[in-house]
Amino acid sequence: MNRPYRMLQNGEAVPRREIPELSLERFQQELLGGIEDGWRVVSYFGAAEGNAVRLYAVLSEKMEGVLGVMTALATAREIPTLTPYAPQLHLFEREIAEQFGLVIEDHPWFKPVRFAPPLATPLGASAGKTPKIGLMDFYRVEGTEIHEVAVGPVHAGIIEPGHFRFQCFGEEVLHLEISLGYQHRAVERLVQGPLTAVTRKRMETVAGDTTIGHGTAHTMVVEALGGGRVPARAQAIRAVALELERLANHTGDLGAISGDVGYLPTASFCGRIRGDFLNLTAELCGNRFGRDLVVPGGVAFDVSGDLAGKMAGRLQKAFDDVANAVDLLWETPSVMARLEGTGVVSGETALEIGMVGPAARASGLNRDIRRDHPFGIYAMSHIPVETARAGDVYARTLVRWLEVEKSVEFIQEQLTHLPGVAFQYPAGAIAGDSLAVALTEGWRGEICHVGITDERGGFARYKITDPSFHNWTGLAMALREGQISDFPLCNKSFNLSYCGFDL
């Protein structure tokens, strides 16, 4: 059935007047109808408009490879909830309520998302002040033999802050609730207004370990709005950098998973090899995380034939090392026994809550932006999508490893056939009154940036959806009926971003 969405491609801008405006009721019906028809919510957010909040929904349809966008105006503070019918919306609805002082009626889980003050309150501020961070009514299981374990926000390891509340029956976890927001920096508010020199820097550090992923998504938004072209050579170099980022992080994760089960050889080898991949990124642009490589119109640094050859050699060597280290994992029965069957997220659950990235693929969901909504060089040069079925820690480990293999092949191919000569074209001026959507497949999964410009070409609203936003619920589900002692391992197998979520 045809949906009244404005269809667009990944990395395309549309004038705001072309976006169909529906009544709130119709908007919600079309949102649910689309989800039933197999569309997936990529981003769902609000923007202040006069004395109302304009809601935007961006959906993805992977068979056709199109995105759909529609909008509605909410003029009352109360909006009925859709979460009971589409659980993947639950965090989006909470976020909209928090950012614009709205109330989502009958939301089953109506709590703060980041404990941050609202972006704007066009419909009047909600009663009471912004709650203090972490102060909320956690879900409780009652019973004399139930005990509650609170972990964080300060952790024993050197990781980012987040609070985890377990309801346990002995060693068994009945429920896990995750409370984040400790890293909130108001990124979305900071990038509103005209594009400045620091905008791109801020975007690259939305999640520091996904510099290329977020940086590319942002430049795609700017390029879509500016209407400029990007040389094929730059697209290839961007893809190389994106895959190197994936390699470094996946390798680090494989090592960290191995370290968590107490298997040291792989842990220490992978820790070192991760550095080799980061150093290859440094060869591209002088920064190990790829800062300032991706710029509007192309890339800031070219890759010479010499450098490409040198990188290919070093990449192969690093890959051989990581293959050796990871083979140790598969060959050690005690490691396999520890990973298999731990932290299972079923395919149905993953689909329902809208998981993305390697974690979703490990639960059998065949989704990958590089294939479903190809951007840049991925439209020409395909990379196979790897999935597993079990949805346990083993599956998430396996998918990471398979992606490492495919990424190395992909980079080798790109480095040997770098197209063209030009690596940067001038970027055009930002178009006013438009909306641009850009999706990239970062190493954690789908990254979505949506930029909406005002009549002067400044950002009226800039929405970032990090893959962690989709996946944190998955971690909570993985622990359900699991062992509390398996939590660190499950957490490591997801390795979600705190700052990417907290924005």
Q: Which residues bind other proteins (CB under 8 A)?
A: 147-151, 156-157, 170-171, 258-265, 267-269, 272, 332, 334-335, 337-338, 342, 483-489
Nearest to 471 by CA among 447, 439, 503, 440: 447
In angstroms, give the least distance from the CB of 500 to other proteins.
22
Instruction: Considering the complex, state which of residue 213 and residue 343 has its C-beta at the smaller distance from other proteins.
Output: 343
Minimum Å gap between C-beta 154 and other proteins is: 11
Which two tokens mark 420?
A: 């063209």
**Residue closer to other proteins (CB basis): 25 or 148:** 148
| Shortest Cβ 160–other proteins spacing (Å) | 15
Rounded to an integer, what distance in angstroms lies between the CA atom of residue 442 and that of residue 325?
Answer: 24
The separation between the first and the last C-alpha atoms of the chain, rounded to the nearest angstrom, is 36
Distance, in Å, from the CA atom of 240 to the CA atom of 442, rounded to the nearest integer, reads 12
Shortest distance in whole angstroms from residue 264 CB to other proteins: 4
In whole angstroms, the minimum distance from the beta carbon of 169 to other proteins comes to 12
Q: 209 or 260, CB closer to other proteins? A: 260
Strand 146-151 and strand 163-169: pairing? antiparallel
Smallest separation, CB 262 to other proteins (Å): 4
Q: Which one, 29 or 268, has the nearer CB to other proteins?
A: 268
Distance CA 21, CA 25 (A): 11
Which is closer to other proteins, CB of 339 or CB of 411?
A: 339
CB of 149 to other proteins, least distance (A): 4
| CB closer to other proteins out of 173 and 244 | 173
Report d(CA 287, CA 222) in Å as an integer.
22
Q: How many angstroms separate the CA atoms of 74 and 91, rounded?
A: 18
Angle at which helix 90-100 crosses helix 467-479, to 10 degrees, equals: 120
Closer residue to other proteins in complex, CB, 299/475: 475
| Cβ 350 to other proteins shortest distance, Å | 23
Shortest Cβ 261–other proteins spacing (Å): 4
Contact (CB, 8 A) for 426 and 404: no
Cα distance between residue 118 and residue 184, in whole Å: 12
**Least Å distance between CB 139 and other proteins?**
16
Nearer to other proteins, 8 or 395 (CB): 395
Considering only CA atoms, which of 227, 196, 230, 197 is closest in space to residue 216? Answer: 230
Q: Is 318 helix (H, G, I), strand (E, B) or coil?
A: helix
What is each CA distance from 139 to 111, 179, 376, in whole angstroms? 11, 11, 44
Phi-psi region of 320 (alpha: psi -120 to 50; beta: other; left: phi over 0): alpha
Nearer of residues 63 and 158 to other proteins, judged by Cβ: 158
What is the Cα–Cα distance from 95 to 55, expressed in whole angstroms?
12
Q: Environment class of residue 154 by beta-carbon count within 10 Å: exposed (0-12), middle (13-18) or buried (19+)?
A: exposed
Asked if residues 178 and 472 have their Cβ atoms less than 8 Å apart, the reply is yes
| 69 vs 339, beta carbon nearer other proteins | 339
Tell me if 107 sits within 8 A of 93, measured CB to CB: yes
Closest CA to 110 of 121, 118, 102: 102
The tokens describing 332, both together, are: 């050690």
Cβ proximity to other proteins: between 332 and 424 the closer is 332
| Residue 259: CB minimum distance to other proteins, A | 7
3-state DSSP assignment of residue 87: helix
C-alpha 24: how far from chain center: 27
